[in-house]
Amino acid sequence: MLNTTYEILDEILVRAGTSSTTATGGLYTDTILKSWVTTAHRWAASYKKWTFTEGRVSTTYVQEESGYPEGWRPDSIRYLTVGDKRFSKVAFEDYQRYKENSPNGQDRIFSDYGLTYYINPTASLSGTVVLYGQYTPAALDMTDNTALTVFSGREEDCNAAIVEEVLSYAKKREKKLDESAIHHKNATDLLEAVWKRLTDEQFGYHMKDRGMFEYIDVLAGGDFSDPIHRDRWY
């Protein structure tokens, strides 16, 4: 099993062909290996927009501009509600144009820029703001042998990828660049295989009561919910 930091470190030593860091002649110490595991974990966790790093945060609405939740990745808020109302995400430039052209507009829209998100303040806001997005996992606590990665108990192959990535660092330190490249490729192949399994499972998601596009009233401008009108030619 590859779940805890201890099991990951032990697997690295086994694959490196040694039983302890003392047998490496100081080439990589405990401190070096633990630093590499932390780096490889951060790399693997940010390699894809994993379901393992999806987050949900609730907060009280205070003002139009608010900072992203601590540790969340920039531009990663995908879904936002205020009270029981869903707000649609628009490009930051479009949001600013809307505010300029419709200063009292009540469209339920939001946007973000860097690590700040913006909610249209004239949209009759009431209730708790709930954000759904992607966060960056905290650094592993390498002083705790039982500490778990973000993948532990879910996808052991991703922890195996961490092992392979650390071995690529070790081989690079040994000036064995070809072997380092092979281990790095093994790591990315493992992560890609997990990603494919996850995306293949998403075929079961179906859209409910919505299409790919919104209907547009070409003559009058704007969108409308019911495209069928009696006694009208458009």
Task: Supply 196's token pair.
Answer: 């494919």
Q: What is the pLDDT of residues 66-123, one digit of tens each?
A: 999 999 998 999 999 999 899 999 999 999 999 999 999 999 999 999 899 999 999 9
Please give the single-letter amino acid code of residue 111: S
Q: Would you kindly state where each structural domain of the chain is located, as residue ranges?
A: 5-46+138-201, 53-135
Look up the pTM and report it.
0.76
Are 21 and 13 a contacting pair, CB within 8 Å?
A: yes
- Tell me how far apart the alpha carbons of residues 175 and 40 are, in angstroms, rounded to a whole number: 19
Is 128 within 8 Å of 59 (Cβ atoms)?
A: yes
* Per-residue pLDDT at 17: 81
Q: Per residue in 3-48, pLDDT tens?
A: 999 999 999 999 888 766 655 556 788 999 999 999 999 999 999 9
CA dihedral sign, ordered 177, 178, 183, 185: positive
pLDDT surpasses 90 at 234: no
Amino acid 120: pLDDT: 96
- Whether residue 209 is predicted with pLDDT greater than 70 in this model: the reply is no
Closest residue by Cα to residue 37 from 166, 180, 150, 164: 166
